[in-house]
Structure 1
Amino acid sequence: MDTDNAWQIITTLASGVDPITGEIQPADSTLQHPDIVRALYVASMALQERLGNSSTRRAARPERAGAPWSDEEDLQLVQAFEEDIGPNDLADRHQRTRGAIHARLIRLGKIAPDSPDQE
């Protein structure tokens, strides 16, 4: 396994999604515990740096990339999604990557785990 694949798996786990099946983890899952989620995000950030995402690429990342989601931000995301706001606009509004928006919408049950990331 290469570092990029490991990063994708860890990031998906941190989003509360099983990277193999695409299923959202139940609320009582160990993977949903706040300490576990934080640890996975720390590991994800460390791997990003190892992949060369430090310095120049870090400046290009959205400001809130890798930050935990608040209940209020989840609510805002769902409302905007239900208003048919596109993924690029959602990413801009939340200062996150499109991949993070897609993973969060899966976790919140708004899109199917196997749905493609829309333009």
Structure 2
Amino acid sequence: MDQDKARSILKALAEGLDPRSGEAFPADSPYQHPDVIRALYAALEAMHPRADRRDAPRRSAPGNAGKPWSKEEDERLLAAFAAGLSIEALAAQHGRSRTGIEARLAKYGKVPPPAALPSTRLRGAQPASPTA
């Protein structure tokens, strides 16, 4: 497997998405656990050539990435979305990734699922087989 494909798969997993289908993992998935998300981001960072790591600013997962959503946080998210806040503003406000916000809004039928959004499609991802 080439490094770009491996990075693409790790990035999808770190963002809570199935790398094959692009669908968001359920909240109780092991891939949504904060320690797993941090480990996946660490693996992604370790894959960069050393020169890139020294020169590039350090990025980390948003503070609440992978943490469970409370009913109150869901209510605040839905109210802010209804008030017209952008996905980026909601992500910053909730300490979540853009994909995490999109997946949560999709759960409540407010936006299409992230796999259907052009900004979150994975290059080379194949749709899941209906029999799989």
TM-score where L is the length of structure 1: 0.59
- 1:115 is displaced (CA, Å) by 0.7
* Structure 2 unpaired stretches of 5+: 121-132
The residue that corresponds to 2:36 in the other structure is 36
Q: Is residue 3–residue 51 contact of structure 1 (8 Å, CA) maintained in 2?
A: no
Shift in alpha-carbon separation, 1:20–1:46, aligned structure 2, 3 A: same
TM-score, structure 2 normalization: 0.55
The match for 1:54 is 53
Distance 2:89 2:105 in 1: 20
RMSD (Å), alpha carbons: 3.5
Post-superposition offset of 1:39: 1.3
> Percent identity among equivalent residues?
32
Q: Which runs of 5+ in 1 are unaligned?
A: none
Aligned counterpart, 1:11: 11
What is the letter of the counterpart of residue 104 of structure 1? G
Q: Name the counterpart of 2:61.
A: 66
Q: Does residue 1:106 correspond to 2:102, yes or no?
A: yes
- Letter of the 1:66 partner, please give it: A
How many matched pairs? Answer: 106
Flag the structure with larger Rg: 2
